[in-house]
Structures are given as C-alpha cells and as structure tokens.
Structure 1
Amino acid sequence: MRRSAALALTLMVCGMSACGSPGPAGSPEPGPSVAVPESAGSASADPALPAGWRWESYGGVEVAVPGDWGWGNGSQRLSQWCVGPTKEPMVGRPGAATLAGCPGGEPDPATLLANTGPVVGLDRTPDPDGVRDEGDQTTVRLNGVLVTVNAPAELRGRIVKTIRRVDVDSSGCPVTHPIAGDPRHRPAKPVEVTSLAEVSGVAACRFPIDDAGEGGQPRLISSLRLDGAAASRAIQAVARAPLGGGPDRPAECLPEASYGSELIVLLVTSAAGRSEVVVRYSGCDHNAFDDGVTVRSLTAEAIAPFITGPNTVLEFSGSDKMPIIQPSAK
C-alpha cells in the first residue's frame, strides 16, 4: 500500500472518532542539511498562457487551464464519477477515493463529460509518452506524468496544446528537492525566519515524501507563489508562530510513517537572498516550520497562505491538526 493511501485511512479513522487530546508540542529530530541548486522562475506573464488562464504544475509537467477552475481530488472525480453530484470545473490531483462500483460501458463512462464534468486530472504513470482519445477525454503521457483532460472538444484541444515539460515551474519550484527523499533534512543555508527583511516573494513547493514511483526522486505535487506584500505578510505570520514545533502525537504512529506523506518547501526571496523554510504538516510527529535554525509550531494563520488553491491538502494524519489545516471543516 502506498504511504499516501495508508495516511488517508489514518485521517478517515481520526475524522470519525476523537484521537485524544493534543499532546505537548515537540521538535523534529535534527537532521542533516542539504542544498538544492538555485533556480530562476516566477509567476510572471507567460506569452504561451492564454489570457485569463493559469499554469498548474505536477511532477515535471505544466498544463494551463481557465483561471476560474477550482481544485480537488482527481482520483475521486475520475474513478468514482458516479458518486456525488458536484461536477464544477476543476484540476484534480491524486487522493483517497471511495470504492463505489461505478458501471462500465463503451465508451468508458469516465471519459464522458456528462459524467465527470470538466476536469484536468494529474497523476504519475510508468507508461511511455503518448496521446489517447476516447469519448470526451484526451489523455497525454509525458515525462512520467499522466494528464487527463475531460472537456468540450474545442476547450480540450486548447488545454492539451499547453502541456509542457518543465524542470522549474512557473512558480519557481524545482521538480525535485532532496528533502522530499529524506524529510529529516533541514535547509542547508540556515536563516532565522525572524531575521528576514524586504521579503519580495515566496514559492510554496509541495512534494511527496519518499514516494519516487517509477521516475527516481519524489516529484513536485503542486505549487503556488506569493509576491510583494502578500509574501511579506505570510512570512511575518510564520515568524509569529510559537517556538517548539507541533502539534505532535508520536505515540500514535509508526516511526516510518511519522513524517506523513507530503511536505512543503518555502523558497523565500528577501534582502538575504534566497532562503528555505520546510513545512512539515502531514504526519503525527515532526510537524513544524523549520528554517534550519529554529522550529516553530504550526498555526492556522501561518500555514493558511501555503495550503490553498493548488496546494490544498487532501490527506493528513491526526484530527488534532484539523483546526489548523482545515479550519473551516465541521
């Protein structure tokens, strides 16, 4: 079972019953430092991007979609198309799915717009590059990524034409990062977040943990970028977070799963140059903002700017983090 699936089960169990009161905040175990090569990139205007559209990044591939499309669980929307009435346009990434037996047919009902609504699904694939059409669906395999496009023919063609391979995406996030392969790592150039001045940009790069699949190193799940005043406010909120890390419940998980299934690396541009903050949030231990000098506790205010839109968190362990990661959930 993939780690993400196991953690999804943990979340569902914790969501249905109380998992105990929060334990004392802790700090992640010190780990080795590692550097990632400097990379340029920003969410500036791209001549290849249709007006009013935006880029979506996954695993070394970008695809453009209309700017008013939402985000969600692509596994649920495509494989479980017969469950749930909501079919608003969205970009979907892998997540836990129900196990309803949706009926088959010719063409495959999951390829029909009437069943799925407009959706661009992103996932990994071991299959070679190629393109396939069926029903209202075009699938493109590129660089180990499967892009599934269910949309009306004209719009589908426009979306498919934007699909491209990238090493650094339009938010400025590299496709791979050493910390994703070993979440014990800490930023190689430690810079205390409270010392950062003139913050002008933050790229929030979301990676799976130790889930390389067929392509070697773990690859980027999604990204977003904040610039100017929004970036400065977001980093100030991190700097205000309490010292010590957490919330953690190490007794409630196996050590090999304690970091969870994913993390975010913040690439911060400031008067100090580029620095990094690792955000660990999906496991039952080691949760923290980690700038390489100090660890700070997760708070709803501090993490919110980095887990919205394409970085919406679909799976995590521990109901104690629900008010932090999904404060609007009831």
Structure 2
Amino acid sequence: MTEDDELEGRVRASLDAHAAEVDTSVPVAARARAAARRHRGRWVAAGAAAAVAAVAATAVVVDRGDAPGSEEPPVAGPPSSAPVVPAGWRVEYWHDVSVQVPADWGWGTAPTTVMRGDLTTYLCGGPGAMRTTRGKNLVNPVSTAPYVGRPIMLSDACMGGVRSLDPQAPYVWLGADLPPGTADVGNGYTQETVEAAGTTVTVGAVDAALRERILSSVARQDLCPPTVPSGGPDPRGTLVEGVGEVRTFDLCAYAAPDRGGPLDLVYAADLGAGAYADWRRALTASEDVGVSGGCADHGELVVLTGTFDDPAGTEPVSQGWTVDVPCDLVYADDGSDAVLTPELRAAWHAPALRSILRTYIGMLG
C-alpha cells in the first residue's frame, strides 16, 4: 500500500465515520505528506550574514483578488511594511511569510486539499484551538478559542465545506488550500484569504479592523531559510574559538511535505537569551554519543541558531545545532553529537510544536 493510499484511506474512514458532517460522495485521495530521508548534516553559520531580525521588515505584495462566490470585492494593495510587534501580539512563520497575531491565540489546523479527480477542501480537526499558549493539549477543539492553524491533520475527523463553518472565534490559517477572496462563513464572520510569497494567509473575524490589522502585518520573513534539503542543512561558514554575549537564539522547525523533496519551514520563533542559557547548561551536562549516520527519521528537523558578540572582532558570530526530532538526536556544528535529553528539549520546545510536528502530534483520533 502506498502512502497516498494510506492517507486516502484515513480520510475516507473519517468521512464514513462522520457522514453526518461531510459529503462523502466526492472522491478523495492523499496529497503526499510523507517522510523524507535525512542524511546527517550540521548547521554552521558565521559572520554578520547570520545575524537575523526576529521580525521581518520586508513587505510582500499580497493578492486579495476576488474569488468565485465571494460575498464582497476584496481591497487590493500591498502593505507598505511590516509593523513593529506591539505588546500583546506575536509573530507566526510559515514558509516565506510572517504574520502577526494576538499573543493569547492558540494553535490548531487549517484546510487542506486531498485530491484524485475532483478537488475538495477538508478541515481535519477543529474548527477551534487544539493547543493553548500555556502548553495544554485540548484533545478536542475548543470552538470558542481563537487560534492559528496550519494545513496539518490533527484529527481523523475531517469535514468539508469550509465556506460554511459558522465559526465562534476568530482565526488565522497559514497555507490553507483556498483561493484569494472574501466570503461570508456564518455567524457574522467574514473570511479573507490573500496570496503572499507563494503561500496563503487567511483571516476570519467579525471585526473588520482586526482582519485588516492582521493582514497588514503579512511580510516576507527573514528569520529562517524557508526550505532546507531533505538531508538537512549543509555545513557552512567556519567555527569560532569562542563567543561573547548572546544576541539571539532562534528556532526554525522544518517538515517534509513530499517524499524525497526539501523540508519546508513550518514554525519559527525567537527564543531569547534565557532559552539559550538553559540550552547551554543542558548541553554541558550531555555527553557526545558518537552517532554515525543518524537513524531512519520521518523528515522533521529543528534548527537552533545562536548569534553572539565576537570577542575577537566587531561582527557577530553564530553557532548552530540541528535536532533530528524523530530520532531524538542533536548534531552540533563543532562535530559533537548528543542524545536529545528532556532537559535539552525543554530549552526550546514551544507549545505550538505539539500541533505542527507529526512526531509530537502522535496518533490521530
């Protein structure tokens, strides 16, 4: 059985089990969301080019072109720049784009298209938050909790017809398989989808000012490379003898959408100096395990990069670590390897990753 057939079977089983919620007459099939084999690689960067901003400042042109069946014509025009992140907001990253959302919103899923013949968009989990900012796994979606969703299956309960959700809380979808445009999705909510930097950003809300505030923050991100090879990031730059005060400590999480293809950025965060201190303490307590060749993983990597003052110069320097998430291994830029201990994981493990990386999502239900 191919992975296409396996995922198609899961979606079909979901539709059969929840026939009251979806139209099962439409053929469905799997888009490849399979594992990529990764050869061992290490992330090394040095010099000023590695000093990156936590919030992108490069605006992108967003396409708010009308979509068939839209309730009202969307307004066209690019944002002039990405606003400074105010208190009470945070930045979410997906592929090439960043967008600002209220800091207390949780995380969930977004519509994805499974295809064989006809195209139908499904929401597999939700609507609503399935993970809170405090790290609580809600198991069942809370429809009244605002959230940020990505097109990742969080449940085998899939429903179609996402244009009539009757939402009970505002939401942002990153990379949803939806055409640009606006639509009335029930309960007084207007949903607007824009194209930006090769992906989509969708906002659903009653408050037009909230929709505009979020969409105006869409920008091309420069915190992380948007893709890395299926074998992981290649070594680059040079090692340094020592580092000074930490400037930034960034997390870039990648997953493989297609077997054998590159890994795409699915989440990122500026973790800060405190997280780096925890990471350094845990690294000091860990042992070099001398791993050779890694293990057969499922194509999920977390790349951690710290930028520091250079004690011997004026330009910042960087050091990095690649975490093979399914294998629980850490490959450091100095050639050492370590087992991903609970202490090492705790230094960077953001609550959002429980609804983003398959390793932490676990069995669907």
Partner of 2:285: 240
Alpha-carbon shift at residue 302 of structure 1 (Å): 0.7
Partner of 1:228: 273
Q: 1: distance between equivalents of 2:93 and 2:267?
A: 5
Q: 2: distance between equivalents of 1:97 and 1:241?
A: 33
Alpha-carbon shift at residue 143 of structure 1 (Å): 1.8
Partner of 1:58: 94
Partner of 1:17: none
Q: 1: distance between equivalents of 2:263 and 2:40?
A: 22
Q: 1: distance between equivalents of 2:110 and 2:279?
A: 28
Q: 2: distance between equivalents of 1:200 and 1:82?
A: 38
* 60, 70, 83: which one aligns with 2:106: 70
Partner of 1:93: 150
1:204 aligns with 2:284: no
Q: Call closer, same or farther: CA 1:191–1:298 in 2, change over 3 Å.
A: farther
Partner of 1:255: none
* 295, 302, 319: which one aligns with 1:275: 319
Partner of 2:53: 41
Equivalent position SS for 1:56: strand
Alpha-carbon shift at residue 35 of structure 1 (Å): 6.4
What amino acid is aligned across from residue 85 of structure 2 in structure 1?
L
1:132 aligns with 2:144: no
Alpha-carbon shift at residue 269 of structure 1 (Å): 1.2
Partner of 1:147: 201
* Alpha carbons 1:33, 1:185 under 8 Å: kept: yes
Equivalent position SS for 1:108: helix
Partner of 2:118: none
Q: Call closer, same or farther: CA 1:153–1:103 in 2, change over 3 Å.
A: same
1:174 aligns with 2:225: yes
1:119 aligns with 2:161: no
Aligned residues, how many?
273
Which of the two has higher C-alpha Rg?
A: 2
* Alpha carbons 2:172, 2:204 under 8 Å: kept: yes
* Alpha carbons 2:254, 2:265 under 8 Å: kept: yes
* Alpha carbons 1:183, 1:209 under 8 Å: kept: no
Identity of aligned residues (%): 25
TM-score (norm 1): 0.66
Q: Call closer, same or farther: CA 1:68–1:75 in 2, change over 3 Å.
A: same
Q: 2: distance between equivalents of 1:56 and 1:212?
A: 26
Q: Call closer, same or farther: CA 1:291–1:124 in 2, change over 3 Å.
A: farther
Q: 2: distance between equivalents of 1:95 and 1:82?
A: 13
Q: Which moved more, 1:152-161 or 1:75-84?
A: 75-84
Q: 1: distance between equivalents of 2:160 and 2:270?
A: 40
Alpha-carbon shift at residue 183 of structure 1 (Å): 2.4
Q: 1: distance between equivalents of 2:198 and 2:302?
A: 22
Unmatched segments (≥5 aa) in structure 2: 11-37, 58-81, 113-121, 129-139, 311-316
Higher helix share: 1
What amino acid is aligned across from residue 267 of structure 1 in structure 2?
T
TM-score (norm 2): 0.60
Q: 2: distance between equivalents of 1:278 and 1:249?
A: 12
1:25-45 deviation line (CA, Å, top 9, x unaligned): xxx965588869635313599
* 346, 349, 356: which one aligns with 1:304: 346
Alpha-carbon shift at residue 50 of structure 1 (Å): 4.5
Q: 1: distance between equivalents of 2:160 and 2:39?
A: 48
Partner of 2:137: none
Partner of 2:69: none
* Alpha carbons 1:70, 1:90 under 8 Å: kept: yes
Higher strand share: 2
Q: 1: distance between equivalents of 2:43 and 2:158?
A: 47
Equivalent position SS for 2:175: strand
1:59-80 deviation line (CA, Å, top 9, x unaligned): 1111111111122333599444
Alpha-carbon shift at residue 224 of structure 1 (Å): 1.0
Q: Call closer, same or farther: CA 1:2–1:300 in 2, change over 3 Å.
A: farther
* Alpha carbons 1:200, 1:232 under 8 Å: kept: no
RMSD across aligned positions (CA)? 4.2
Q: Call closer, same or farther: CA 1:44–1:226 in 2, change over 3 Å.
A: farther
Equivalent position SS for 2:271: strand
